[in-house]
Amino acid sequence: MASATTVMPSRGGRYAVVAVCFAAIIFDGYDLIIYGSTIPALLAYEPWSLSRGEVGAIGSYALLGMFFGAIAAGTLTDRFGRRRLFLGCLIWYSAAMVAVATAPTPELLGLFRFIAGLGFGGIAPVAIALVVEVAREGERNRLNALMLAGLPVGGVLAALMALSLQGSLGFRGLWAMGALALVVVLPIAWRVIPETTPPSKSDRQKLIVSTTPLRELVSGRALITLVLFAAANFVGFLLVFGLNTWLPELMREAGYSLGSALTFQVLLNAGAIIGGISGSSLADRYGSRPVAAAAFLIAAVAIGWMAISPPTGVMYVVVLLAGAGSIGTQIVLFGYVATHYPARVRASALGITTGIGRLGAVTGPLLGGVLLSASVAFGWVFTVFGAVALVGAITCLLVPRSDIDLPTALQSEPADVATHR
């Protein structure tokens, strides 16, 4: 696929693009994580009388939609341009949150969350491709991390909103807040997000007789790299959504009040902001491979420590570290994939790896729901999540140290491919 050309808008610049993408990802994160913040209220909602397993399943439907949304958007944006897909995903998930907030039955709630998930999954690979392409050399991971920090920022806002407004707005009102992106972000995005030029007719003809992004990505040993990136994303997303969905309920199981449990969720996402930005800055300097592996290892140790229920003060620090090493590492992984591939296949690679990774996002809430429904002690639930983080560290270490395993076609743009130490 001929590489799309990014045309910067006449006003603003790359930081404006980063800021708008950051705002869109904040709402993406809020819409996803507010569900976990409202689980105690949803479980107490007598008209539905939902079990923990049912709540976990409903929580996974949006994440299943993200699987399809990420893969479709990643491929379509390489073909039709970043701007169209970015605006389309933003409108899609914002409008869908209105339906989520007004769902009359649990079955329709699950369906509407799945539909919203298509937009949730699509926005991230498009935003990452945009930011990496407008960033300068040496700042790609950092600017990408600043943009993706919107995900845990959205998580912090979700927990804070649940703490302060759940009594007055209820869980439906909190879900409806996600639709505000239509009036807060969309008008600015319409002006700021740059257009990309789709491949010309001659480029498409060359594409037919030569190759496609998918063929390039799965040719020879390149497939091994793609599979490892997908596996690492699977682990990262499992931790992100498994912990964010069930942490408030797990901390209540540990004896904390609802307010304290939601405070831990704030700390988890605050740690993710710190870990994502600092980890990505280190990745710009030392390479993504060792940084991502080390961050997963920190998560494994921290989550394992949470299992033994340390004193409250220590638990605060441990939860921060767990957020830095789990959600923060997912931010590093996004940048790792984005800087590994050249522009013409970048969004496709991001869509495929994050799309498959979204299956981990489905698995996380389901895994927590199954374990809690089986009356497994909260300490063992944390132990399971800690073991998953350890698998993530090993997976990152198995990723090739450089892109020499990619087909020649992918090595033709050296200025656009980061060297992995």
More confident site: 338 or 102: 102
**How confident is the model over 351-356, as a mean pLDDT?**
82
Q: Give the separation between CA 401 and CA 225, rounded to whole angstroms.
A: 10
Q: Three-state SS for 195?
A: strand
d(CA 4, CA 324): 34
Per-residue model confidence (pLDDT) at position 212: 62
Residue 4 has pLDDT above 80, yes or no: no
pLDDT digits (tens, 9 = 90+) for 268-320: 888 888 888 888 888 888 888 899 999 999 999 999 998 888 888 888 899 99
Task: Return the minimum-mean-pLDDT range out of 22-26, 70-74, 239-243, 401-405.
Answer: 401-405
Give yes or no for a contact between 244 and 268, defined as CB atoms under 8 angstroms apart: yes
CA atoms within 13 A on the CB side of 380: 8
382/82 Cα distance (integer angstroms): 39
Most confident of the ranges 220-234, 271-285, 288-302, 324-338: 288-302
Q: Residue 407 — pLDDT band, cuts 50, 70, 90?
A: very low
Phi, psi dihedrals of residue 256, rounded to the nearest 5°: -85, 155
Burial group, residue 316, by CB count within 10 angstroms (0-12, 13-18, 19+): middle
Rounded (10°) angle between helices 258-286 and 312-325: 40
Q: What are phi and psi of 196, to 5 degrees?
A: -120, 150
Q: What is the pLDDT of residue 109?
A: 93
Average pLDDT over residues 406-411: 41
pLDDT digits (tens, 9 = 90+) for 123-150: 888 888 888 878 777 777 788 888 888 8
What integer is the mean pLDDT of 115-127?
A: 87
The mean pLDDT of the chain is: 80
For residue 214, name the pLDDT band (cuts at 50, 70, 90).
low
Q: How confident is the model at residue 78 (pLDDT cuts 50, 70, 90)?
A: low
pLDDT computed for residue 6 by the predictor = 43
pLDDT for 247 beyond 90 = no
The DSSP code sequence of 340-406 is HS-HHHHHHHHHHHHHHHHHHHHHHHHHHHHHHHTT--HHHHHHHHHHHHHHHHHHHHHS-SSGGGS
Amino acid identity for residue 95 in this structure: A
Is pLDDT at 341 greater than 90 in this prediction?
no
Q: Please write the tens of the pLDDT for every residue from 197-213.
A: 444 454 444 444 444 66
Which tens digits make up the pLDDT trace of 356-382? Answer: 887 887 788 888 888 888 888 888 888
Q: In the prediction, which pLDDT does 401 show?
A: 64
Domains of the chain: 5-416 (1.20.1250.20)
Q: What is the DSSP letter of 241?
A: H
Q: Could you give the 3-state DSSP secondary structure of residue 5?
A: strand
